[in-house]
Amino acid sequence: MYRSATDEDKKVIAGMIFDLEFAIEWMETGRRPGNRRGIERRAAYQCEKIFVPLLMQKYFRSSKPTYEWDDHEKEDVITS
């Protein structure tokens, strides 16, 4: 059957075989084929993203309303 297939069909079949072998290896090992180490073994600096906290506050402010007792506590701290 494979011998009587056209060159185009052989390319499609070869691609399907490659994709299936790739998926099976990934499922058997639990990591992407070709990688020497899993993500759990990578250096910490490769996984972390550095950010400026003051800049992040600009985007993630609390939308909760300010209550009277919240304002009084701040006044007491400032005046004492």
Q: List helix spans (H) across the chain.
A: 7-29, 44-47, 53-59, 68-79
Q: Is residue 14 part of a domain?
A: yes
Q: Is residue 30 part of a domain?
A: yes
- Residue 44's alpha-carbon distances to 32, 33, 37, in angstroms, are 19, 22, 13
Looking at the structure of the chain, the number of domains it has is 1
Q: Is residue 43 part of a domain?
A: yes
Q: Over the Cα atoms of the chain, what is R_g?
A: 29
Which structural domain, as residue segments, surrounds residue 75?
Answer: 7-79
Q: Are 22 and 33 in contact (CB under 8 A)?
A: yes
Q: Is residue 70 part of a domain?
A: yes
Q: Is residue 11 part of a domain?
A: yes
Q: Is residue 2 part of a domain?
A: no
pLDDT digits (tens, 9 = 90+) for 1-53: 567 889 899 999 999 999 999 999 989 988 888 877 666 666 655 666 677 77
What is the rounded CA–CA span in Å between residue 38 and residue 13? 30
Q: Is residue 21 part of a domain?
A: yes
Predicted model pTM: 0.43
Q: Is residue 1 part of a domain?
A: no
* End-to-end Cα separation, the chain, in angstroms: 90
